[in-house]
Chains A and B, each alone.
Chain A
Amino acid sequence: MNNPQLSADGELQHLLTLEGLPAEIIGRILDTAVPFVSIAEREVKKVPLLRGKTVFNLFFENSTRTRTTFEIAAKRLSADVINLNIGVSSATKGETLLDTIDNLVAMNADMFIVRHGESGAPHLIAQHLWATQRQHIHVINAGDGRHGHPTQGLLDLFTIRHYKHDFRELTIAIVGDVLHSRVARSLIHGLTTLGTPEVRVIGPQTLLPTAVESLGVHVFHDMRDGLAGCDVVVMLRLQSERMKGALLPSAGEFFKHYGLTVEKLRLAKPDAIVMHPGPMNRGVEIDSAVADGTHSVILPQVTFGIAVRMAVMSILAGSR
């Protein structure tokens, strides 16, 4: 099975990666998310689509924010949500990943939201469900290793489309620790699929993957060159644990070269938007004046993220 996220007739069955996901399916998810945005503004912030379904949030790796937004999304669709932090339960007792899945299937799970430190863990689960004729149980990748974080990529795409409308006219820069960022990888795949003519990655050589150009991006090591003329600037989180290795001299040094300040942002277009997947390190990759400034759409990203996750869940649960 070369693309285990699609059924034989091309319907989305699981959401595992944005790599190779057809533009029509990405477009459909983004379109479907639009009406979900307004549900948050109603008196009853719930629709009955997933009523009676059981969604398991399977987090083998901590992430309060992602887990919470998936939980809110599922609850606004009226699903029952069970949160499992496996890092501190079965796995430590030696149960294998697929045994855990089989047990939860025996509890009549309808959907798994999977966050795992190992790249490919959600694929493994989806393939296991295919192999055992249980593909009506859906898997959503909520971040696996360095590989991908498709719903984050989709919410970034949704945010860009919301403010900038047509991908085919945009110059977009992704700045910082691209090497460790599954967010960056998912976003790059999505942007190129949707026909963005100019995607740039900006960062020190040590924080860019080797042969990153093969993803269809232009590489810049000087932030001022890279930001020139950009419509969208996506800042990535610099994970402090990376600082311990030999990759970077110090947080202060990083900020000097690759931190986004008001002054550097002036090099982008006057109506550029600034995004960040969170959680932010203020004063490391982004200055507070930018994070809280008029160009920032960082909080709308969070709001849109719930609508996008609702769209993905309802498309999956509605497929046969």
Chain B
Amino acid sequence: MSASSSSLVVQVRGLKKSFGANRVLDGVDLDVHKGEVVVVIGPSGSGKTTLLRCINLLETYEEGSIQVDGVEVGFRDGPGGTRQHRGDRELSRIRADIGMVFQLFNLFPHLTARENVMLGLRKVRGLSAAEAKRTAEQWLARVGLADKFDSLPSQLSGGQQQRVGIARAVAMEPKVLLLDEITSALDPELVGEVLTVVQELAKDGMTMIVVTHEMTFARDVSTRILFMDGGRIQVEGTPRQVLSMTNHERLKAFLARIEMKHH
């Protein structure tokens, strides 16, 4: 990687994570630099979603290290070189700079589209109501929802809900945006409108880590593709390198399965 270390946004080292006896992440190393769009692919159970969820501490990790913008996310230094779990307040401050968009949208159903975007701006960033409203409306307009400010999530289509989800995340101006299979729950005809928004964010230089099964999107938008299997990163390279790699059996089998599902 030629980028200087000052532009390193996410640094993962030796990350291990188990659910009970089941090892989900088995030593993951990953560097993500400013402006990169890293797509993570792999069969279900390969650990890719868990990797994302560790980066913003929705899952805890015991072994290894995750730094976002130079700060260890899960731990702070304790006495005598030990490390201690961070408390809620510190974690919340760190999470405010890490955006996430979910497979099932997870919009707040009691709030309008505008209020969904405003909540973090008001209660975390401390913006005034007027500033938050303006910022929220700008972002909603950017994702093509200028006519849906006052709609409740239940009144929106899946694609529209997911675009609100993206607006809610990026309005916080995160240092990195985590996208967790954000089109998997959508009807096929709604996938395009969501991916177009992500593509524009990429063009604007948003740093992203994307878990997806959309190979066309991975090929066209990503700067790098990681193939995960068995809790490890098995293959890593540019889209062209990874997608044309024919000597890696598991990758080949995975790509063939994905291909079949889409035809």
Q: Do A and B come from one complex?
A: no
